[in-house]
Amino acid sequence: MGKVTGFDIDTAHFTGNHAPFASVEACYSPKSDPKHGDDTEWSEILEKVSLDPSSQHFFSIQPSRTFTHVRLNIYPDGGVARFRVYGIVSVQWPQDLSSLTDLAYLGNGGKSIACSDQYFAKVDNLLLPGRGTDMSDGWETKRSREKDHCDWAIIMLGAPGFLEHAEIDTAFFIGNYPQSVSLEACYSDSVDGGLKRLRIFGRRQPPPEEFTSPQSSSTNQ
């Protein structure tokens, strides 16, 4: 669920049998999956465009409404290798503000902003669920023999919150895990060795109108 900002319609390896045209529609149906032929109201968010063989096609749109499903239409037929939808995640947060939530999780809106290095494996993998499948499913940097060298990654949490504990998972890294780690945090209105997963657990910060005095709750300290 989220606001769509763009697409990648990829026809890689389809050289003579690719879909020559495509369009994209979207709908909001949070309680059930739409079925073909039902009365779901679909909105066209990418009008009919032409596609080339074995190519990536990037399209950007202005985000507006929140959608739960998108529908790719191809004309008249043919092949598409990958369909990627980019956008801003809309998270359904727990109503209980005292419950612990993984604020770094990709599905909760966590996002990697920058890192010092991702030579062997991408930093985005830190934010995926579960423990991964192998070393390539985590974050791994190239080796350095410089004194006091430190690799780093900056993660934007899915929502501001009161941090309580972190889980740093080095699953599958045997002999090439970082010797030590440290965490720093900041509050900003603007964005922008190997680890398997990074999870930052905390209680979501309530909207401003729900704040009481800082002394009234231990979670505000």
Residue whose C-alpha is closest to residue 24's, from 47, 5, 40, 2: 47
Q: What is the pLDDT of residue 160?
A: 86
Q: What is the pLDDT of residue 9?
A: 98
Please state, in angstroms and rounded to a whole number, the distance separating the CA atoms of residues 112 and 104: 9
Tens of pLDDT, residues 26-85: 999 988 899 888 889 999 999 999 999 999 999 999 988 999 999 999 999 999 999 999
Tens of pLDDT, residues 183-219: 998 888 765 555 555 555 555 565 544 434 344 333 3
Q: What is the pLDDT of residue 176?
A: 86
The domains found in the chain, sorted by start residue, are 2-89 (2.60.120.260), 100-208 (2.60.120.260)
Q: What is the pLDDT of residue 41?
A: 93
Tens of pLDDT, residues 106-156: 888 898 989 999 989 999 999 998 888 888 889 999 988 888 889 999 999
Q: Is the pLDDT of residue 159 over 90?
A: no
Mean per-residue pLDDT for 76-100?
Answer: 88
**Count of CB atoms situated within 10 Å of the CB of 219:** 15
Q: What is the pTM of this model?
A: 0.62
Q: What is the pLDDT of residue 74?
A: 98
Q: What is the pLDDT of residue 190?
A: 64
Mean per-residue pLDDT for 159-181?
Answer: 88
Contact 7, 49 (CB under 8 A): no
